[in-house]
Structure 1
Amino acid sequence: MKALFRSIYEIIGAPQPPADTPVYRDVIFPNIGLLNLGISLALVLVFYYLINRALGVATFNKGRHWSIFLVLNALIAFVVAIWQANAQQVTEHSYIYWLATWNAILGVFWFFILSLILRKGSTNASTTPF
């Protein structure tokens, strides 16, 4: 799992400063990767299964509502990456913000993919976002 997240997160470049590279590879990348997947899954489940199936809110099934959750997911992913870097006490560097931005982009990707997979179980939003 570490190797998978290492390869995904090192697309933007090697962690900086180089002295912190082991912490990023062994702790931060797996943590933010799993949190990103988990949060994306949770938000997809809330949108499709809680709001649009269990609660039956027929007015919260448009593309703009789905976009709200997509943006919320990206913001949470951005904050989680910064939080994890600060929790591991790595050196302050602009790499942290590049990593957070990349994590937000990956959050959007995971949310989109999970939406395509799980949307059919919703009664009111089975065609959202398309």
Structure 2
Amino acid sequence: MKGFFRALYEVIGSPQPSSEVPVYREVIFPNIGLLNLGITLALLVLFYLVINRWMRVATFSRPSHWAIMLLLNVIIAFVIVLAQVNGQNVVSHSYVYWLALLNALYAALFFFLFSLIFRKLSVNASTTPF
């Protein structure tokens, strides 16, 4: 799993400063990757299953509501990186913000792709996002 997240997050280059590379590869990349997937799945379950299937809230099933959940997911993914890096006492560097931006982009991509699966489970939002 560490190798997968390492390949995923080193697309933008090697972590900086180079003395912190082991911390990124062994701790930060797997943590933010798993948190990203977990939070994305949790928000999708909340939107498609809890709100639009079991609660049947027909007023929260529009594409604009889906976009709100997507934006919330992206913001959380960005903040997760900053929190993980600060939690590991890694030197603050511009790489951290690029990593946070990349994680936010991955969160949006995962949210969209998993939406294609979860929307079939919903009653009211089965056509959301399109």
Q: TM-score, normalised by structure 1?
A: 0.99
Deviations 1:32-77 (A, max 9, x none): 0000000000000000001101111001111000000000000000
Structure 1 residue runs of 4 or more that deviate by more than 3 Å after TM superposition = none
Counterpart for residue 78 of structure 2: 78
In structure 2, the residue matched to 1:127 is 127
Give the counterpart letter for 1:95 in structure 2.
Answer: Y
Q: How much is the aligned-residue C-alpha RMSD, in angstroms?
A: 0.5
Q: In structure 1, how many angstroms separate the alpha carbons of the residues matched to 2:39 and 2:112?
A: 13
SS of equivalent to 1:59: helix
Q: Which amino acid aligns with 1:76?
A: I
User: Unpaired segments of 5 or more residues in structure 1?
Assistant: none
Aligned to 2:89: 89
Percent identity between matched residues is 60
Match of 2:51 in 1: 51
Report the alpha carbon displacement of residue 118 of structure 1 after superposing the two structures with TM: 1.1
How far, CA to CA, are the matches of 2:96 and 2:88 in structure 1?
A: 12
**CA-to-aligned-CA distance 1:12-32 (integer Å, 9 cap, x gap):** 110000000000000000000
CA distance in 2, matches of 1:28, 1:45: 25
Per-residue CA deviations over 1:61-120 (Å, capped at 9, x if unaligned) read 110000000000000000001000110011111111110000000000111111011110
- Give the equivalent residue in structure 2 for 1:117: 117
| 2:29 corresponding residue in structure 1 | 29
